[in-house]
Chain A
């Protein structure tokens, strides 16, 4: 997988819970439809503007609440590849990694602003803020999680284990 990812930040605050990321009334729709409403309770225009160039940067406790995998799945459908947060809620963290997203915890998230251009170096756990000419260190990703990320998520890992073509 690509271990260097570049993009533009859309910034969120603390405690972005799963009722915000994946509002419950749309969960009965296919992921592609539900994705149109991702983040809508706090940022109604987010989904329409999000694309593979979007990097989500958020405060503490991102993804708190439900175990609903529609949260990372709708974000992934919109093209999001990386989410950087001060901290993640635990079920969201596992779900995000499992579906193939890159989730990084960065203590200096407050220095990152909406619209910033970032280059994320996954292997070295570094984020470069191009315009501000600053680099940030991320918390070390545990080895077993790193292996999952490198394989592209849990499904890819299971396919490999069961000898099925990806």
Chain B
């Protein structure tokens, strides 16, 4: 009987010939990632001191200080310092800080490879599924267990297949695919499931865009969001200096899926998730004229080079709306430098945008652009929950980089296709 990507990857990780949906397996972890906000400082450091103060395999552990970098308060600075010191004290060479959101750093540094099992103390760890890995978010105590034993128990999930076919119209992006899918399946529509994205639309997307889709699988409650690996996957890794032996990761032709959803990309219009739920999705056209005070282009969801270029393409030579703040946070230091060298940051800055450090920052209301009461923000990030970016009397709309740039020009939500 054919197997899905999840069934195959978890079988390999658990040292089994095969697995079936519903099996509880004890799987060996290939990479364990922690960040600053939910890493060693939460339960892990203290309990390892009490139990056993060594990680099972320091080459398989990655620690990234990203949420609180640069720190805005003493408390945040202490947390980053604690994380830095703990990494050094435990021999973790894979330590990164001030480089950008962890999931982008994981991708750029060859820590997420096809066919592997990756766990991380952040729910958007599922972004790694774009590389054909089974990547999932876990809590800090769960991570403690992984650090001590190198293993994690997992229930083999059923898979929902999401198929996108056809050509994306101009100025319609992967983020729109992501939002449309979430709007249809619902924010608990994939709880405990894996979601697998297939179709020629997906295959035509560069890795930058594929990551925008798998990043948000958790917004449907999913355990993992997967895409099979191909030439584009290995090219991306090679460009960053990593050359794993190519392997076939796709689901078998006769694999069994719990559900299949089919979408046509050529019919897709730009989408927006309105406050305060990620599945509160509608066409941008239905919310145009909503006044926007701040546009945020950044985060592990929507701050990659492809997003910056898409925005620059719309905004080039023009000025942003008077009184509007356009904050731009490239998703990694590498992307920041690449965009700078390519003249993209200058185009954006010339429009009146503020170029920020690569960081999680305002995606989760921690620093660098927190919202006041009554303010509306259009963001390329992944969540619009009440109070997430600051005041609980502020409103967050989620959209693509193209929608963000168009909105920054006009000062109200704008369909980039209408400019």
Contact = CB atoms under 8 A, between A and B. Distances in A.
Interaction A to B:
yes
Interface of A: 15, 17, 19-20, 23-25, 27-29, 41-42, 60-61, 64-70, 72-73, 87, 89-91, 94-95, 98-99, 142, 144, 153-155, 158-159, 161-162, 164
A23 B388 CA distance: 7
A24 B366 contact: yes
A70 B42 contact: yes
Contacts, number: 126
A12 B191 CA distance: 20
Nearest to B220: A64
B365 A154 contact: no
B392 interface: yes
Contact of A154 (B122, B141, B277, B387): B141
Interface stretch (B45-53, B173-181, B225-233): B45-53
Contacts of B139: 67-69, 72, 91, 94-95, 98-99
Interface stretch (B68-76, B293-301, B335-343, B350-358): B68-76
A60 B386 contact: no
B388 A87 contact: no
Contacts of B42: 69-70, 73
Interface string B33-68: 000011000110001001110000000000000001
23 contacts: A15-B188, A19-B383, A19-B387, A24-B364, A24-B387, A25-B366, A25-B390, A28-B366, A61-B188, A64-B221, A67-B123, A67-B138, A69-B38, A70-B42, A89-B188, A99-B43, A99-B139, A144-B24, A154-B141, A155-B43, A158-B145, A158-B149, A159-B51
A128 B383 CA distance: 37
Given A20-B386, A65-B123, A28 B75 contact: yes
Contacts of B385: 17, 19-20, 65
B3 interface: no
B20 to A, nearest CB: 16
